């Protein structure tokens, strides 16, 4: 892992972006408060409703949980996929193939159950 390079470029871009924003503030100036409406958040003419009153659908939460479950299962497939040809060469092919298909059967059952229980219906 080129950890040094990643850290270096992260710091570099942070400083770069900071300077860019400061520069834009220097040339454009900060916003003058000429009226309250200018500093309110966007709304098309009616009184502003804050984000704390905004209701977020529970579906987003459910989607996130399902994502974590399925993503972990997909990540399990990566090392298997990278070594599959080596396993075939070394003679362990049938065992590795069948065990992954058992795992995939569980995966498919999970996906089928999820669709059947209407966890993915947005209305």
Partner 1 sequence: MTSMGTTGFEITVNLIKTVLVFLMMVQAVPILVWLERRGSAFIQNRFGPNRVGPLGLVQLLADAVKFLTKEDFVPEKGSRFMFYAAPVFALIPAAIAYMAIPMSVPLKLEGATFLIQGFEVNVGIVFVLGVSSLAAYTILMAGWGSGSKYSLMGAMRASAQIISYELALGLSIVGVILIYGTFNLTDMINAQHGALSFSMFGYTVSSAYLPNWGIFYQPIGMILFFAATFAESNRLPFDLAEGEAELVAGFHTEYGGFKMLMFFIGEYGHMMIASGLMATFFFGGYSIWNFTPQQVYEWLYGLVGSELLANILNTVVHFLSYNLKFAIFLWIFIWVRWTLPRFRYDQLMDIGWKTMLPWALANAMLTATLIFAGSYFIF
Point out which residues bind partner 1 (CB under 8 A). 1-6, 8-10, 12-14, 16-18, 20-21, 23-25, 27-32, 39-42, 48-51, 53-54, 56, 59-60, 63-64, 67, 70-71, 74-75, 77-78, 81-86, 88, 93-94, 97, 100-101, 104, 107-108, 111, 115, 120-123
- Ramachandran assignment for 30, one of left (phi > 0), alpha (psi -120 to 50 degrees), beta (any other): beta
The nearest distance, CB 31 to partner 1, in angstroms, is: 4
The nearest distance, CB 67 to partner 1, in angstroms, is: 4
The nearest distance, CB 25 to partner 1, in angstroms, is: 4
The nearest distance, CB 72 to partner 1, in angstroms, is: 11
Where b means 16+ CB within 10 Å and e means fewer, 45-75 reads eeeeeeeeeeeeeeeeeeeeeeeeeeeeeee
Residue pair 108/101 in contact by the 8 Å Cβ criterion: no
How far out from the chain centre does Cα 64 lie? 9
């Amino acid at each position: 892992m080129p950890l040094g390079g990643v850290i270096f470029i992260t710091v570099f871009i942070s400083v770069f972006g900071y300077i860019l924003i400061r520069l834009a503030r220097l040339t454009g100036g900060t916003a003058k408060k000429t009226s309250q409406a200018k500093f309110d958040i966007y709304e098309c003419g009616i009184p502003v409703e804050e984000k704390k009153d905004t209701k977020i659908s529970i579906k987003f939460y459910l989607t996130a949980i399902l994502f974590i479950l399925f993503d972990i299962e997909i990540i399990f497939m990566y090392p298997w996929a990278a070594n599959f040809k080596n396993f075939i060469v070394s003679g362990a092919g049938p065992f590795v193939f069948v065990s992954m298909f058992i795992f995939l059967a569980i995966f498919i059952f999970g996906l089928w159950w999820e669709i059947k229980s209407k966890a993915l219906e947005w209305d």
